[in-house]
Structure 1
Amino acid sequence: MGRMLYLECASGISGDMAVAALLDLGASEERLRNALDSLPVDGFEVRVSRVKKSGLDACDFDVVLDSAHENHDHDMAYLHGGGDEVARLSGGGLDDGCAHAHHHEHGHHAHESDERDHHAQGHHHEHGHHHEHAPHEHDHNHEHDAHGHHHEHRGMPEIEAIIRDADITDRAKEIALRIFGIIARAEAKAHGVPADQVHFHEVGAVDSIVDVVSFAVCFDDLGLDDVVVERLCEGRGTVRCQHGVLPVPVPAVSHVVAEAGIPLSIMDVQGEFVTPTGAAIAAAVRTRDALPARFTVERIGLGAGKREYAVPSLLRAMIIQEELKKESDNPIASGRWAASNEVRFGLDEACAISEAHIWKLECDVDDCTGEALGFTMERLFTAGAREAHFMPIYMKKNRPAWQIQVICTRDRIPTMEAELFAHTTTIGIRRTPMERTVLPREELRVSTPFGPARAKRVTLPDGRRRTTPEHDSVQALVEASESAPKEAVSDDTLQRPLTYQEAYALVLRAAEALEG
């Protein structure tokens, strides 16, 4: 039990709506802008503003592409199924529901993750500072190349490299990569190609990368682990794109919710409310499928979509606190010990320990090679496993074997099982629901003579704190010290390359100095 994020997707979800909702909850806009400045991607700017949706004040997050990178797929006003009703609701304009993912070899449409494709009006990127404007007429019959832009493609390896090179936390990188992985798998299933062959138009990939990275940075900044997503609400009809007419929900969204096991509710409203990126975000961070029986609301954030439908396109996000039992019913919380020789922790109100449900999957194999097992572990972590272990065991007939244990959230079970069945020789997987207690944690950023470093600090039940330097930062300092000029540091003890232990101690001292 503890603080958690609740995403109320009663009128859909898209990438820009999700980012806006988290910013409205209190995620640092300054930290977000610093993170986006570090992206090795050009041709965009972001605008954060306040807008009114059905009379409600909401946050708007907009990715504006410059003229050289402008995505004309967005500008082509493709018509949603629903005819006059949709035109009436949009003020006479046409909805642009086309997206920009394509399989590189086949070149056909793969409905992808551009939020402005599904929620924006007309030439939104040319008028990004106007949140309501007249529809813009456009010739629907011209070809994409007629705009005079040479559109390169980015595949998953290129997108992964961009994210890994960004100056964001390891957790934010992992979340962003997980989201893109979900999108790629969904598009691959929709079009019958391997996930590593799904490519994105360069101009489309820019705003998709910005949306996904922005969400990951904001989510990481809020410091929450548990996320409740009960369902996604979607509209009806069809969306006409450059390569044909697709039903709503579009195939990519259908595959995302099917893989993640997220319930989908269809509203009696024409239009597309759930985008592939929005669905992938929900699938990537969802750890619970139901709200607690009792909870209090700490903060509320509203993220605005760009379209006007019969229902307001708003994503409401809440930070909630599950209500604990009364102290009289909880001897630990009240500080009463069951026995003097038992080690128990009293819970301080300032130290909100989080309890959450987690799942353990396990299987036993006695005929897998070491190479196959190593590859499987990499695949499990890439797919979102919280932890994975290989335990040596003896099976029947005294055969040496390995027990593979995977820790994951409930929504990741189908993906984890698919990886285990695909890459090991197991024919059965056991599932065990587990409860866990999680200490409050925060990330620290410190400066050292050899560059910046990160550490994590947890708060123990008695209020004491424990700080641990991040391994990647320690390793980076060791490597930096090997090439740093001697005059770069003044301390005589730092006139030579650091050992791992010395770099670890250096980060630890800097982190502890922050507290002092």
Structure 2
Amino acid sequence: MSELYKKNGHEDGGGRALIVDGSSGISGDMTVAALLDLGASEERLLTALGTLPVHGFKIRVSRVAKSGLDACDFDVQLDGEHENHDHDMAWLFGEDGEEAHEEHGHCHEHEHEHEHCHEHEREHCHEHGHHHAHRSLTDIHAVIKASGLTQRAKDIALAVFGELARAEAKAHGATPDTVLLHEVGAVDSIVDICAVAVCLDDLGIHDVIVPSLSEGHGTIRCAHGMMPIPVPAVANLCAAAGIRLVPAPVHGELVTPTGAAIVAALRTSEALPASYRILATGYGAGKRAYRNTAGVLRVTLAQVDGASEANGERAAASEQALLGTGRGHAPERTPDAHVEPAVPFAAVGDDDPDAPHTVVKLESDLDDCTGEALGRAIELLMAAGARDAHAVPVVMKKGRPGYQLEVVCDESNEAQLRDIIFATTTTIGIRSARMRRYPLRRRPGEVVTAYGPVAVKRVVTPGGIVRSYPEYASVVEASERTGATFQEVFRAAEAASLLDEPGKAARGDSDRSQHPHGLPGRSTKHLPEASSDADDGAAGEEA
């Protein structure tokens, strides 16, 4: 059992669990993509990654088809200084390179699902003057601790890097404190691991079940020469954590050191429950098209039978009613169809509108803090887990203009956010008050537009009306990618949100006439007929 979860007091294994299907192997980027597809907030992830004190990367999240499956793709794109060229299959596989090139003919620019071979050659493969990023475990600890990740996300990331350091130290005859992490200390590996930590924290997942991992065979070229598969770090990780490997008919590496370290650090069980209910599924795409394997990592959010049975039934009923189907995965994508991730509105206990939930409001009056410092403070507060943070202009005593900083958070991270306010603003005091939170049920979604997919947030009113809100970051990304204006993309996403079913556009005018006072950018639709159980659910972020 993961020591991390023992430390956090989650030993009972009851309630919800994440089941990881490793039949196509596992890597860092595949894990992030699968968790995003499961329902982790892309907006909160990007905000958190933006606080990492490392540079030279940007993130691209997209939809791809792998073995006929619609999957999420998470890509860490490096700038020219940090760029690594991972296309040279002959270099990676030596004499088998030509065969491997045919076998992996459709490669993305950064093929992170085979992270280990990339990690061991990132700065060697057509490097032309680039060098390895040599970081010790102490260096990586400093990077993570200086970030704006929540404390739990930091603990998860540090646990994964701890497993990696021990495995690499054994391979090189060093100690975890003295071994230098070359490829797994590079920028994209740090981003991958921190992203996994942020997503797990965002989803509130504590129990992780991994029965086994499939691994390929052959040899692969790394920074230290040709190595057998599994490479030494993966072999050491699996041996130390008791991870079962299942041979796959694949010439190549399926399990990367980062993927193996994630399992070693976070797995709480290898045994599947006797029975369970599927609440949601997520598919994370790999970057190479190996033969004889799907090339996707599937994760399943499961309600274990016998643990909170009623909550599981409400979640399943809500899922079917809202998707209009008994299946847990997203509907097939068509030009005028919604593309919804398989995340029920009723999934998270403390966001259940019917469950009491207390939040804390922190506030402080500031008249000598610069706008830049205040903006940075709000960024760090949101990245550290605040449900909301904003500044309200006020007129203070003696007519001085100022701001009232207001932060809404859970009781569990009140102290952490209070420390951030003291450290990043000029305040000399903070007020706090406890209050009840009444959220609407909500979940992330996605619509297809002429400018590509755009993320939306969907909320359900007590009367059963669903409102869709285009996500700012996704609209900006589509605008920058296509050259369209922000308003063009936003309006296209707003219009697409009305097209839940083919042909619904024809009813758009009549729908709008029934809601003449609807706000711009807030489209609405009625839920399909369902039992009253569908009204029980969960919410995401603070309204």
User: TM-score band, normalised by the shorter chain?
Assistant: 0.5 to 0.7
The equivalent of 1:11 in structure 2 is 24
Report the CA distance shift for 1:449/1:93 in structure 2 as closer, same or farther (over 3 A).
closer
Report the CA distance shift for 1:225/1:245 in structure 2 as closer, same or farther (over 3 A).
same
Deviations 1:353-386 (A, max 9, x none): xxxxxxxxxxxxxxxxxxxxxxxxxxxxxxxxxx
Give the C-alpha shift of residue 2 in structure 1: 1.2
Report the CA distance shift for 1:10/1:165 in structure 2 as closer, same or farther (over 3 A).
same
Distance 1:167 1:326 in 2: 33
The equivalent of 2:295 in structure 1 is 313
What SS does the corresponding residue of 1:79 show, helix, strand or coil?
helix
Report the CA distance shift for 1:260/1:41 in structure 2 as closer, same or farther (over 3 A).
same
Match for 1:227: what amino acid?
V
For 1:291-370, what aligned pairs fall within 5 Å after superposition?
291-310=272-291, 311-324=293-306
Report the CA distance shift for 1:254/1:116 in structure 2 as closer, same or farther (over 3 A).
closer
Match for 1:449: what amino acid?
S
The equivalent of 2:354 in structure 1 is none
Indicate the RMSD between aligned Cα atoms, in angstroms. 4.0
Report the CA distance shift for 1:254/1:449 in structure 2 as closer, same or farther (over 3 A).
same
Match for 2:222: what amino acid?
C
Deviations 1:151-202 (A, max 9, x none): 5522222211111111111100110111111111100011111112222348
Structure 1: gaps (5+ residues): 98-113, 126-141, 328-332, 334-346, 353-438, 458-465, 485-496
Structure 2 contact 61–74 (Cα < 8 Å) conserved: yes
The equivalent of 2:46 in structure 1 is 33
Report the CA distance shift for 1:323/1:309 in structure 2 as closer, same or farther (over 3 A).
same
Report the CA distance shift for 1:77/1:509 in structure 2 as closer, same or farther (over 3 A).
farther
Determine which structure has more spread, i.e. the larger CA radius of gyration: 1
The equivalent of 2:103 in structure 1 is 89
Structure 2 contact 15–308 (Cα < 8 Å) conserved: no
Match for 1:289: what amino acid?
E
Instruction: Choose the corresponding residue for 2:74, options 30, 55, 61.
Output: 61
Report the CA distance shift for 1:190/1:269 in structure 2 as closer, same or farther (over 3 A).
same
Instruction: Choose the corresponding residue for 2:192, options 197, 211, 220.
Output: 211
Give the C-alpha shift of residue 73 in structure 1: 7.1
Structure 1 contact 303–316 (Cα < 8 Å) conserved: yes
Distance 2:179 2:162 in 1: 11
Give the C-alpha shift of residue 146 in structure 1: 6.6
Structure 2 contact 84–125 (Cα < 8 Å) conserved: no
Distance 2:228 2:435 in 1: 56
Identity of matched residues, %:
49
Distance 1:245 1:251 in 2: 11
Report the CA distance shift for 1:202/1:95 in structure 2 as closer, same or farther (over 3 A).
closer
Give the C-alpha shift of residue 115 in structure 1: 4.3
Deviations 1:460-505 (A, max 9, x none): xxxxxx9455433344455668x53xxxxxxxxxxxx44xxxx5xx
What SS does the corresponding residue of 2:35 show, helix, strand or coil?
helix
What SS does the corresponding residue of 2:159 show, helix, strand or coil?
helix
Distance 2:312 2:105 in 1: 55
Structure 1 contact 468–508 (Cα < 8 Å) conserved: no
Give the C-alpha shift of residue 285 in structure 1: 1.5
Instruction: Choose the corresponding residue for 1:148, options 106, 129, 132.
Output: 129
Distance 1:81 1:318 in 2: 37
Structure 2 contact 49–191 (Cα < 8 Å) conserved: yes
Instruction: Choose the corresponding residue for 1:71, options 59, 84, 89.
Output: 84
Q: How many residues are paired up?
A: 350
- The answer as to 2:65 corresponding to 1:52 is yes
What SS does the corresponding residue of 1:51 show, helix, strand or coil?
strand
Report the CA distance shift for 1:2/1:164 in structure 2 as closer, same or farther (over 3 A).
same
Give the C-alpha shift of residue 86 in structure 1: 2.9
Instruction: Choose the corresponding residue for 1:254, options 213, 220, 235.
Output: 235
What SS does the corresponding residue of 1:80 show, helix, strand or coil?
helix
Instruction: Choose the corresponding residue for 1:231, options 212, 215, 223.
Output: 212
Report the CA distance shift for 1:89/1:39 in structure 2 as closer, same or farther (over 3 A).
same
TM-score (norm. length: structure 2) = 0.56
- The answer as to 2:522 corresponding to 1:509 is no
Distance 2:436 2:108 in 1: 54
What SS does the corresponding residue of 1:215 show, helix, strand or coil?
helix
TM-score (norm. length: structure 1) = 0.59
Match for 2:303: what amino acid?
Q
Structure 1 contact 164–173 (Cα < 8 Å) conserved: yes
Q: Which moved more, 1:154-163 or 1:317-326?
A: 317-326
What SS does the corresponding residue of 2:250 show, helix, strand or coil?
strand
Distance 2:232 2:295 in 1: 21
Instruction: Choose the corresponding residue for 1:194, options 165, 175, 181.
Output: 175
Give the C-alpha shift of residue 313 in structure 1: 1.3
Report the CA distance shift for 1:249/1:61 in structure 2 as closer, same or farther (over 3 A).
same
The equivalent of 1:472 in structure 2 is 416
Give the C-alpha shift of residue 96 in structure 1: 10
Structure 1 contact 228–286 (Cα < 8 Å) conserved: yes
Report the CA distance shift for 1:508/1:348 in structure 2 as closer, same or farther (over 3 A).
farther
What SS does the corresponding residue of 2:40 show, helix, strand or coil?
coil
Match for 2:297: what amino acid?
L
Distance 1:178 1:259 in 2: 14
Distance 2:210 2:166 in 1: 21
Distance 2:302 2:64 in 1: 25
What SS does the corresponding residue of 1:78 show, helix, strand or coil?
helix
The equivalent of 2:138 in structure 1 is 157
The equivalent of 1:448 in structure 2 is 363
Give the C-alpha shift of residue 351 in structure 1: 11
- The answer as to 2:150 corresponding to 1:169 is yes
What SS does the corresponding residue of 2:286 show, helix, strand or coil?
strand
The equivalent of 2:512 in structure 1 is none
Report the CA distance shift for 1:265/1:48 in structure 2 as closer, same or farther (over 3 A).
same
Structure 1 contact 52–58 (Cα < 8 Å) conserved: yes
Structure 2: gaps (5+ residues): 1-13, 317-347, 352-356, 366-376, 388-409, 440-541
Distance 2:109 2:385 in 1: 47
Structure 1 contact 297–321 (Cα < 8 Å) conserved: yes
What SS does the corresponding residue of 1:31 show, helix, strand or coil?
helix
